[in-house]
Amino acid sequence: METAGLKRVVVAGGTGLVGRALVQTLVEQGVQVIVLTRSPGRLRLPPGATAHGWEDLPVLLQDGDAVINLAGEGIADKRWTAARKAVILDSRIGATARLVGAMRACAQPPAALVNASAIGFYVPRGSDPVDEGSGPGAGFLTDVCQAWEAEAQMTSTLGVRVTVVRIGVVLAREGGALPKMATPVRWFMGSKLGSGRQGISWIHIDDLVAMLIEAARNPAWQGVFNGTAPAPLSNGAFTRLIAKRLRRPLLPVPGFLTAAALKLALGELGRELLLQGAFVVPARALAQGFQFRYPSAEAALEDLL
């Protein structure tokens, strides 16, 4: 993994699933990493990384090579009540606005801002592929992504190169979507969700970390990039691959039953996040020659399960 040109990187959101993997990889590559956190005294980090509070901005940003912003409350952690929606939105906009304001106060702001977003930006188009040129959808996730990205783009007026990475379903052993999807399959209770035709645009965590680092170091990475693998699958096909890997059968549950159960249990979250999904492809990353270690779901699941 190339980190040439990166000596000092600030990571916001470095305590989450992706953030922890990113920080570990950066320090292994000899990069000095500064992790922004609300509780710096409680955080255990690998040698080469230090934790600082947000109140230490903008000094921490001065003369940095890049800021990678992953900060934000979990989208799928709780049912989307009005209060929860406000927390999800404010955690992203607020953190990004603080970074933008701190950069504005720097005599020499960081060269690059890599800001997370999500593929919830897009409207599903059946089985047709969706790339970075596709338009936005409608709904809560789209609204969050548009506001988040607009805030990040404010730094472009400061001469900072801005790269937005719209992240898909991150596959990892330690957490995220995969353990939740694999557990019912392991216990002989797995089935497709709803019709099973909705897209799952996934990415192995190692490939996502590599993409974030490439976006931080490479001046050609500017604008929007999809943080997904090149071979999205339907929910039904992905679930069958998990079952094959775990050598388990799937239950032939009618789609309307799982759809009804998800809507009842999770409401809007279940409908937007689990019962619909676009087939998102990383057209711009591929055009830049980015090499995926796990381009197929088969390879990713073989590594992770």
Per-residue confidence band for 4, with pLDDT thresholds at 50, 70 and 90: low
Segment 195-215, tens digit of pLDDT = 999 999 999 999 999 999 999
Residue 2 within any structural domain of the chain: no
Residue 3 within any structural domain of the chain: no
Segment 74-131, tens digit of pLDDT = 988 889 999 999 999 999 999 999 999 999 999 999 999 999 999 999 989 889 999 9
Residue 254 within any structural domain of the chain: yes
Residue 82 within any structural domain of the chain: yes
Q: Could you list the residue range(s) of the whole structural domain that residue 80 is in?
A: 8-304
Classify each residue of 266-300 as buried b or exposed e, where b means 16 or more C-beta atoms within 10 Å of its C-beta: beebbbbbbbbbbbbbbbbbeeeebebebbebeeb
Residue 1 within any structural domain of the chain: no
Residue 24 has pLDDT above 90, yes or no: yes
Segment 27-36, tens digit of pLDDT = 999 999 999 9
Percent of the chain beyond pLDDT 90? 82
pLDDT at res. 98: 96
Segment 116-149, tens digit of pLDDT = 999 999 989 889 999 999 999 889 999 999 999 9
Residue 129 within any structural domain of the chain: yes
Cβ atoms within 10 Å of 133's Cβ, excluding its own: 8
**Least confident window among 66-75, 219-228, 268-277:** 268-277
Cβ atoms within 10 Å of 86's Cβ, excluding its own: 10
Residue 1 has pLDDT above 50, yes or no: no
- Domains in the chain, number: 1
Residue 40 has pLDDT above 90, yes or no: no
CATH number, domain of 91, equals 3.40.50.720
Helix (H, G, I), strand (E, B) or coil at 115: strand
Predicted model pTM = 0.95
Residue 132 within any structural domain of the chain: yes
